[in-house]
Amino acid sequence: MNASPPPRSRQIPVIVLAGFLGSGKTTLLNHLLRHRAGNRIGVIVNDFGAIEIDAMTVSGQVGSTVSLGGGCLCCAVDASELDTYLETLTRPAARLDVIVIEASGLAEPQELVRMLLASDNPHILYGGLVEVVDAAEFGATRERHPEIGRHLAVADLVVLNKTDRAGEQEREHIREAVEAAGSRAAVIPATYGRIDPELLFDPALRPDGEEKARQLTFEDLYLEERAQESGEEHGAHLHTAYESVDFTSDAPMDPRRLMEFLDSRPGGLYRIKGYVDFGAGDVDNAYAVHAVGRFLRFVPKPWTRGEPRLTRLVLIGSGIDADALRKELEGCRTPGEPGRETTQDAPHERAMWGVLRYVQQPGDDDA
C-alpha cells in the first residue's frame, strides 16, 4: 500500500453545496449554521448577486469577509479567487473546522470539485458535493436546465428538498432520474433544508472544552427558542432520513478484500470514516480511512503504546442494508483470524473527519 507522508496540520473538509435557483441551498446552509454541532464553519459564496445568510447580506461584495458569529465566517468570491480564500480560511488563526462553498445557482459544480481536487492547499480535504433539488418543481427545473442530469451524475449526496410539497410518486420519479443519470449518490428527503449536520461533518471536539464550558449567550437562547417555535429542533426526526452502521473487529483486515469492498460499495453509501488494522500488512500503523461518495483516502497513523489494535468503522448512507454491510466487512478479515466482531454497541468515533489525510489523488476522470 503506497502512502505519502501526511501533512503536519489537520485538514479541513470542504463541502460543495450546489443546486439551481430556488432549490433551497441557502435555507439548508442557514440550517447548518444554526445546528453546527460546535463547529466553526467557513462559508464561501460563489455568486455575484444578493445572498441572504440569515441576518447578514452580501450584496455583490466580491472579496469581502463577514463574521457570522460563533467563530463562523462568510466571504463572497469570484471562482478564480477560490484558492486565495481557501488559503485565508485554512490559516490556523481562522480556527475553522468545516468550509462550505455555496455554488451559484448557475454554476457547474463539477468544475468546483475539480478545482478542489487540483488545489495545492495541503490543509483542505474534499468533503463531498451536495446537490439540492426542489422536489416540488423538479420537472420544471429539468425543462429549464437539462444539464441537471450532469449535476446529479457527479453528486455525492442528493437532498430532495421541499418534500412536503411533493407526493411519493414525484419523489420516486426523482430517485429514478438520479439513477438514470448514472449516480450512485445517497438520496435524502428534507423539508426547509433540515438535514442532520452529522451527514456532512462530525461534532467538534475542542481540546480546551471552550464550546462545552462556555455560558449560553442570548443568541444561543434565541436560536433555541426560534427552533422550537418553528419545529426545527435537532431531534430524532432528522436521523430517520439515513442509517449509520458501526463495525468493530479485533481481527486484522485483509487489504485486498477490504479494497474490493470499498471499490464496489453500494449506492446510497455516502460516508465511511474510521481506522483500520491491517495486521501483518503494516504492524506499525493504523490506517485512517475517509470516503465520501466515490472518493477514498487512507493515511497511516502510528499505533500508540497500549492502544487496542482494532478496526473501527462507521458507515453512513440512505437505503443501505446494514446487515449485508456488516457481513461483507466480516468477510474482509484476514483468513485464519476469526477475531471478535461487535456492531450494535460499538463506540461511535468522534472527530475522525478532521484528522484524516490525503494519500491518493484521484485523476481528472474521477470528478
165 phi/psi in degrees, rounded to 5: -110, 10
Name the grid cell of 45: 459564496
67 C-beta neighbours (distance < 10 Å), count: 10
Q: Specify the residue for cell string 456492531.
A: 343
Q: Which residue has the cell 484521484?
A: 362
- Which residues, at least 6 apart from 251, have a Cβ–Cβ distance to it below 8 Å? 279, 311, 333, 334, 337, 338, 339, 340, 341
- The secondary structure of residue 49, as a DSSP letter, is S
Q: pLDDT tens for the chain, 367 residues: list them.
A: 444 444 446 789 999 999 998 899 989 998 998 888 889 999 888 765 555 665 455 545 555 676 766 677 777 676 667 888 899 899 998 899 999 998 876 567 888 888 888 888 999 999 999 999 999 999 999 999 999 999 999 999 999 999 999 988 888 989 899 899 988 899 999 999 999 998 999 887 654 445 444 444 444 444 455 555 555 444 445 656 788 999 999 999 999 999 999 999 888 999 999 999 999 999 999 999 999 998 999 999 999 999 999 999 999 999 899 999 999 999 999 986 554 444 433 333 332 222 222 333 333 344 3
Can you say whether residue 144 is alpha, beta or left, with left for phi > 0 and alpha for psi between -120 and 50 degrees?
alpha
Count the neighbouring beta carbons within 10 Å of the beta carbon of residue 297.
21
pLDDT of residue 82: 82
DSSP string of 172-184, one letter each residue: HHHHHHHHHTT--
> Are 11 and 122 a contacting pair, CB within 8 Å?
yes
Q: Are 44 and 82 a contacting pair, CB within 8 Å?
A: yes
Other Cβ atoms less than 10 A from the Cβ of 28: the count is 24
Q: What is the pLDDT of residue 165?
A: 92
**CA nearest to 329, candidates 267, 268, 274, 270:** 274
Confidence (pLDDT) at 314: 95
Alpha-carbon span 122 to 233, nearest angstrom: 36
Q: What residue type is 261 in one-letter code?
A: F
Task: Give the global pTM.
Answer: 0.78
> Is the Cβ–Cβ distance between 289 and 272 less than 8 Å?
yes
